[in-house]
Structure 1
């Protein structure tokens, strides 16, 4: 399996994107990091360059809902590094509201960010990979993609399920025809700045442990992976097979 030396991560200014950047930099990889908050990106760049002098770090501002900007930023990273070996489509939005409660605005924003913007990122990444005849596309989905969920998770779960289906379709198109690999990652509960503001969730792991597990899974380049594997692979099996009435009680 080739070493993916140059890695592009979206949504890299906080949360899982920031955590994965730290883990990959520790491995000596070169990083193309983008997000809306450039102050956070610049601080992260300075930190990583100080800790890991061999890693080359480049940052750019990116709002993934500006679809033209997605293509521009990805192409500019490609021009700067020469090759992009892996793209991690990580940028996403966690908010949502129950359907029919008057918050279509929140659900629309969630759908646009988690699916339409993800589609733009996949398109931009695959254009680069097809042109260079190689690469690894990684999509950060969610365990919520396993089933339709209620209340505030309804739209979020639907977008993550749609994203997983999109990645599977890209994988089907690429397999056997190109050396491009496509991986769908389903994280369980991993602590981030957002989650730390609420009550502790059972089965939640700390950010560093969770991001280390994410990077280890990504490095294996599987078609699909639940992270951390235990207990989330078993929970995924339960969520897919259990009656909806049971799943609804815990969503």
Structure 2
């Protein structure tokens, strides 16, 4: 069944590839990001491959609260309804706490958590009014356990947004609004540019996003993607003794 899907942070990386794959699956798209020119290029690419799809685009800085609500409502008005909203926009900046990197850590915290809270508010405003919808939060495998050094703030934000979504799932259980949390592992993207290319668990953007899209389409409550090796590793990450965990990361 065709759906109307809103994706934030859709101009590149995982967001752009999700847009391509959802369009190929027959869905219409509401795409937003700061870089409007990249969205225009993506829309042209998608429509060239799938001319029967509808793709609406808008510029959006997710750190502008008023703009988030305005853009989400405008997309809802464009289509008449939004069936699925994917909170995907995020940053990967960071520095060890107390080493002079407060500005980078704060920027990541504001974009990855506070802005995600705003997007969640805007999404749920629409879904509550419709009494229907599928809310998707893109977290990270780093949410499984606190991480050291430059990853400390990033991991904390991803744990935070996962808990936001899990709280909604608890509240909405048995109601016609579903909630999915996606925990991506190492998937090639702009955010993972700093990860060494020889990292053995890194997968291509297309392969990694295919696993994300499959879990989202099935409306799974949560999914570590790709499932191998990340689903079993999630258990190890949560419960491994700290000396062992430190060697892993």
Task: Identify the TM-score tier after normalising by the shorter chain.
Answer: over 0.9
Q: 1:193 corresponds to which residue?
A: 190
Distance in 2, matches of 1:197 and 1:232, equals: 20
In the alignment, structure 1 segments of 5+ residues that lack a partner are none
Q: 1:33 corresponds to which residue?
A: 31
Distance in 1, matches of 2:86 and 2:237, equals: 26
- How many residues are matched? 248
Q: Superposition pairs for residues 172-211 of structure 1, below 5 Å?
A: 172-176=170-174, 178-196=175-193, 198-200=195-197, 201-211=199-209
Query: TM-score, normalized by length of structure 1?
Result: 0.96
Distance in 1, matches of 2:65 and 2:95, equals: 25
**3-state SS in 1 of match to 2:201:** coil
Structure 1 consecutive aligned stretches of length 4 or more whose deviation exceeds 6 Å: none
In the alignment, structure 2 segments of 5+ residues that lack a partner are none
Aligned mate of 1:74, from 62, 72, 75: 72
Q: Superposition pairs for residues 82-231 of structure 1, below 5 Å?
A: 82-176=80-174, 178-196=175-193, 198-200=195-197, 201-231=199-229
Q: Rate the CA distance shift 1:236–1:197 in 2: closer, same or farther, 3 A.
A: closer
In the TM superposition, residue 243 of structure 1 has moved relative to its aligned partner by 1.2
**3-state SS in 1 of match to 2:51:** coil
Aligned mate of 2:11, from 13, 19, 31: 13
Q: 2:234 corresponds to which residue?
A: 236
Distance in 2, matches of 1:111 and 1:195, equals: 18
